[in-house]
Amino acid sequence: MFVSCTDAEDLKIFLKQKEFLQREAALKRYEQRVEELKLQEVPGTLEPSAIPDAQVLGKGIVDPHRGQVFEKLIGGNDLFPVSYLESGLIAAKSVCRLQLRDAAGRTAGFGTGFLVAPSLLLTNHHVLSSEATAEWSIAEFNYELDTFMREKEKKSFRLQPDKLFLTDEELDFTLIAVEERASDGTLANEFGYLPLFPQKGKASAGEYVSIIQHPSGAAKAVAIRENKITDIFGDFLHYETDTLEGSSGSPVFNDSWTVVALHHAGVPDPDTPGAFLANEGIRVSSIFQRISDKAASLSLEQQKLVTGLIGDTSVEEQPLQMEVGELSKKRYETAEGYIPSFLGPEVPLPELQGVLLEDAAKLKDGGILLDYTHFSIVMSMARRLAFYTAVNIDGSQLLDIKRSRDKWYFDPRISEAFQCGPDIYEANDLDRGHLVRRRDPVWGEKAKEANEDTFHFTNCAPQHKHLNQKTWLDLENYLLNGAENHKLKVSVFTGPVFRDDDPLYRGILIPQEFWKVAVMITNNGRLSATAYLQSQKNLIKDFEFTYGEYKTYQVSILMIEKLTRLGFGKLKEHDPLKSEVREIQQLEHITL
C-alpha cells in the first residue's frame, strides 16, 4: 500500500490505519495464544531463560550489568546497585523521537526509534513504512528534560532511505540509515548505539522489562522494571508495560539493559474501549534473523552497512551447536605463524619469565610457541587458556571469507588437558570468544587456512556475552578497518588478565579482563604501540573490584606488563600513553 507524503492529513490517516491494523493483529495473536495455552493446560509460557541455573551461575559468573539481579530472582531482594541507573542513562542516549513529516515540513505524527549501529536506526514498519515517508522525516536525539524540567537542546538528523531502507511488514520493523553528521556538526555516533544480539533466551516469562520511549511524541520517558513479561511465543513477547501512542518503535530492555524486543502495539481489550490486555513486542532474535536473511539481496554498499550490525556477532558467528573436528598433522607443519619482522622494524613476541615460563604448555619438541597461519599462541597449563596471541594483519590483502559452520579443533601438539574445550560453553551465557579475531589473519594465499585456524580451542576464551558489546567491538573494527582502508600492516597481541580471584566455573577460572596491544607504522614512518584493556574493575581506585558495566580503556603498555607479568621490551618506548588511563567512549578518544 502506497501513500503520498505530500499532505500531512493524509499521512496522519495512513499512520492511524497502520497502527489499528497492528493492534488488530496483536489481539488475534493474543486470543489464539490463550486458546493454545488452554489446550496445553499451562498458565503461561514455559520457555526457559538463557540462564539455566541462576544459583550456580550467580556464584560462578556475575553479569556485570545485572549486579544483584540473581538475588532478586532467588531471594526476593529488590535491591539494585546504583550503577543500574547509570547504565540505563547510557542506553537512553541512543533512543530518539521520530518526527513524521510531509513534503512541506508539516508534522503528521511521532514515533520512537533507536540506533543499533553507528548510522543505522530501528523502528516499526507501521511508523516508517515507505521510503517516501522516511525522506521527509527526522530523528531527534536528546529530546528530554533536565533536572530542572527544562528541555535539553535537541539534535536533529535526516534519515537516508536512499542509502538503506530495509522494512518488513510481518515483523513490523524498519531498519534505516541516518546521516552521520547533523547540520550543526553533531555526530550521530556521539549517542552510542544499542547492539542487537541473535541469541534467544535474553528474557523469560516472569521477568521484568523496561521501555525507553517518547510517549505521545513527548520528551523521553522510561517505564522501569515493574513491567512483567506475561508470555513469550514465536516471534513475540507480551508484557505489562505503560506505553502511549508515539511509543511504537521503542526498545524493550531486560535488567542488563540489553534490547530483547521492539515494542510495536498494544493488545486492545475487545470488551472495554480504550483499554488494553497487554503490550506486544517483536523479539530481537527474530528481527536479527530476518535482517540476516534479507542482507544477501542488498547492494554491495548496503551489505557493508548491515555488516556493521550483523558482522562478527551474527547468528553465523555465534551458532547454537558446536562440532569438534580434527585437522591433519601435516597442516601444522607448514604454518608460518607470527613474523616479528612483519612491519619492517622488529616487533618480538611478549616474553615469559619465571613461573609464567614454567607454566607454559610444552610442545613435543620442547618449544612453547603454537604457530598457525599468520598468528601464534602460547598456552598456560594451569589456566588452560592462552597467555597471549600474536597476529600479523596485512590490510592490502584482506579477504572476506564467510563462516559456514561452527567447527572447533583441539591442537594435537599439546595435551587436551591444557585446552579449555566445549564443556565450559554449554547452556550458559558464555561465548566462545576469539582472541585472534576471525577476520584478522584472513589475508593472502592462505586466507582459507587462516580462517579455519582461528577455530582452535587454544584461540578461544570463555567470555560473557556482554564482553564484546559496543566499544571493544568498535575498537577491533577500528583496527581492522583502518588496516584495510589504508592498506596498512598491523601486528596485534591479545590475551586475558589472569587473577587469583577470578570466578571459578566448571573447573575454569573465568578471566574478567582482556588486553590488547596494537603495533603499526604511522604516517610519519614511526612505530606506534598502543594498549587497551576491557575491564569491569574501577581503574581509578587501584583496580579494586566493583560490579559494573564492562568498559574499555586505553592504558600504557607498562600497565599491561604489570597486570600480566609479560615483557614487551622496547615497545614501551613507542607508546604515546606513558602513565595515563583513558576510558574510550568514542573511537576519537584513541591516541596513536
* Catalytic residue ranges: 434
Scanning 212-277, the segments in alpha helix (DSSP H) are: none
The SS3 assignment for 591 reads: coil
159: β partners: 178
Q: Which amino acid, 262?
A: L
What beta strand segments (E) does 52-125 contain? 95-101, 107-117, 120-123
Sorted by sequence, the CB contacts under 8 Å of residue 93 that are 6+ apart come out as 141, 142, 191, 192
> Is 124 known to sit in a ligand binding site?
no
Which residue shows C-alpha cell 597486570? 563
**Count of CB atoms situated within 10 Å of the CB of 582:** 16
Buried b (16+ CB within 10 A) or exposed e, 115-142: bbbbbbbbbbbbbbbbbbbbbbbbbbbb
As given in the structure block, the three cell numbers for residue 440 are 584478522
d(CA 409, CA 53): 28
DSSP state for residue 418 in the 8-state scheme: G
As given in the structure block, the three cell numbers for residue 423 are 564443556
Of 409, 191, 198, 442, nearest to 311 by C-alpha is 198
d(CA 279, CA 243): 8
Which residue shows C-alpha cell 503520498? 4
As given in the structure block, the three cell numbers for residue 391 are 597476529
Which residue shows C-alpha cell 486470543? 31
- Rounded to 10°, the helix 300-310/284-295 angle is 150
CA-CA distances (angstroms) from residue 536 to 62, 319, 549, 552, 583?
11, 26, 6, 9, 12
Of 528, 527, 551, 530, nearest to 539 by C-alpha is 551
d(CA 10, CA 2): 11
Of 439, 460, 443, nearest to 389 by C-alpha is 460
Q: Is 431 exposed, middle or buried (0-12, 13-18, 19+ CB in 10 A)?
A: buried
- Evaluate whether 66 touches 51 at the Cβ level (below 8 Å): no
As given in the structure block, the three cell numbers for residue 488 are 596498512
d(CA 220, CA 142): 8
462: β partners: 432
d(CA 329, CA 326): 9
Nearest 5°: the CA angle 498, 502, 507 is: 100
